[in-house]
């Protein structure tokens, strides 16, 4: 795994070891995310999923690799392209798809939707561009304060990388040596604007200036894993924050309202698909080293399709939350309170 370094004497190891079990596990994770996102695309086009919906297909190696490089007790916060991370942080496909369709069985009880899903140690998708980064620094501050040797991974895209709040968070994190890995998932386009047209410097890993940084291939799950392990060790040893840039690519448009071909060619997308697809690359690597057979991959694909299909069945048949639940959980642990409705006689109850 070749790696560009900033303010670092040495980076992650050049060679990575992969066991058969790990390989199959990463394949299953990435392929499940891919199938889930394609199913979300389908449900959106059928108008079953509505509103904002940002798909993660193409970037699966980032989520799978990061998860493989940290502990489940570490913390992670990301922007609104959050379905992949919700899955790697332990939420089932069923709960994710049901959240997308706004049903009671969704991970946020159908009230969050695509951009607002949460799990233990996962602080969600966040709809405001860049706003999750200072929150991530705050989570890292909590880790430091509690002295539990945990860290926080704060993710953002190349589009958010020019936000002022990132640099404020960098400054505090460096000043207080917070255990925070700032990760820029550079998928080459912020909405419909290419990185070259948006940023005076596209070396996002150097943007921390006084904070060390590294840049790796975000389409290779092993490179991402090794870089994440390296960054995690850096944070846990008390050296403070580190910036990481993953060079990746999204196959879909920015969101479902963007066809994704007005600012880039179909050929460009096709070329990435054929040359550096994270799932195909891992599969080819394992096949060429006789670590698994074509049949095993086929079997796994069938299982994954079945799981996603069943999840979609649930997501389309599960009931929507009742109106009585509308105001629940406004506060975490208050006695029931009355919430003003749309007119003076409407009384709504909020239960925690």
Q: pLDDT digits over 261-297, tens only?
A: 999 999 999 999 999 999 999 999 999 999 999 999 9
Q: What percent of the chain has pLDDT over 90?
A: 91
Q: Give the Cα separation of 15 and 17 in Å (integer).
A: 7
Question: Is residue 165 within 8 Å of 153, Cβ to Cβ?
Answer: no
pLDDT at 135 over 90: yes
Q: What integer pLDDT is reported at residue 339 of this predicted model?
A: 84
For the segment 213-223, the average pLDDT, to the nearest whole number, is 98
Q: pLDDT digits over 151-191, tens only?
A: 999 999 999 999 999 999 999 999 999 999 999 999 999 99
Could you tell me the two tokens for 326? 């509308």
Q: pLDDT digits over 46-82, tens only?
A: 999 999 999 999 999 999 999 999 999 999 999 999 9
Q: What integer pLDDT is reported at residue 264 of this predicted model?
A: 97
Angle at 252 between CA 300 and CA 217, to 5 degrees: 70
Confidence of residue 1 (pLDDT cuts 50, 70, 90): confident
Q: What is the pTM of this model?
A: 0.96
Cα distances (Å, whole numbers) of residue 23 to 26, 108, 287: 5, 31, 11
CB-neighbour burial class of residue 30 (10 A; exposed 0-12, middle 13-18, buried 19+): buried
Q: pLDDT digits over 3-24, tens only?
A: 999 999 999 999 999 999 999 9
Domains and CATH numbers, the chain: 4-321 (3.40.50.970), 323-351 (no CATH)
For the segment 84-108, the average pLDDT, to the nearest whole number, is 98
For the segment 139-161, the average pLDDT, to the nearest whole number, is 98
How large is the angle between the packed helices 278-288 and 20-45, nearest 10 degrees?
150
Question: Is residue 264 within 8 Å of 271, Cβ to Cβ?
Answer: no
> Which stretch of 24-28, 141-145, 330-334 has the lowest confidence by average pLDDT?
330-334
Confidence of residue 334 (pLDDT cuts 50, 70, 90): confident
DSSP 320: P
**Residue listed under structure tokens 């992949």:** 84
């Amino acid at each position: 795994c070749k790696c560009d370094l900033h303010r670092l004497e040495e980076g992650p190891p050049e060679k990575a070891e992969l066991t058969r079990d790990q390989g199959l596990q990463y394949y299953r994770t990435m392929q499940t995310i891919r199938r889930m996102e394609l199913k979300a695309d389908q449900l959106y086009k059928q108008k079953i999923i509505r509103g904002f919906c940002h798909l993660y297909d193409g970037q699966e190696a980032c989520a799978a690799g990061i998860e493989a490089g940290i502990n489940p007790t570490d913390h992670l916060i990301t922007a609104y392209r959050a379905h992949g991370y919700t899955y790697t942080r332990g939420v089932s496909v069923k709960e994710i798809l049901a959240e997308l369709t706004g049903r009671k069985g969704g991970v946020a009880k159908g009230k969050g939707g695509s951009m607002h899903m949460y799990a233990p140690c996962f602080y969600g998708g966040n709809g405001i561009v860049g706003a999750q980064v200072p929150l991530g620094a705050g989570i890292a501050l909590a880790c430091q304060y509690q002295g539990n040797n945990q860290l926080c991974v704060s993710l953002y895209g190349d589009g958010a990388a020019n936000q002022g709040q990132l640099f404020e968070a960098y400054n505090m994190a460096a000043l207080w040596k917070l255990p925070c890995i700032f990760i820029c998932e550079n998928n080459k386009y912020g909405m419909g604007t290419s990185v070259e047209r948006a940023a005076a410097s596209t070396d996002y890993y150097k943007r921390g200036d006084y904070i060390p940084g590294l840049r790796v291939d975000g389409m290779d799950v092993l490179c991402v894993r090794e870089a994440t392990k390296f960054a995690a060790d850096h944070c846990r040893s008390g050296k403070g924050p580190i910036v990481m840039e993953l060079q990746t690519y999204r196959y879909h448009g920015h969101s479902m309202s963007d066809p994704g071909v007005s600012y880039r060619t179909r050929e460009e997308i096709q070329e990435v698909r054929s040359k550096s697809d994270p799932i195909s690359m891992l599969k080819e690597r394992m096949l060429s080293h006789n670590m698994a057979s074509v049949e095993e991959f086929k079997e796994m694909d069938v299982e994954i399709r079945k799981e996603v299909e069943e999840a979609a069945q649930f997501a389309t048949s599960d009931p929507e939350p009742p109106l009585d639940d509308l105001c629940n959980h406004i506060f975490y642990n208050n006695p029931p309170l009355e919430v003003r409705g749309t007119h003076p006689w409407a009384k709504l109850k909020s239960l925690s």
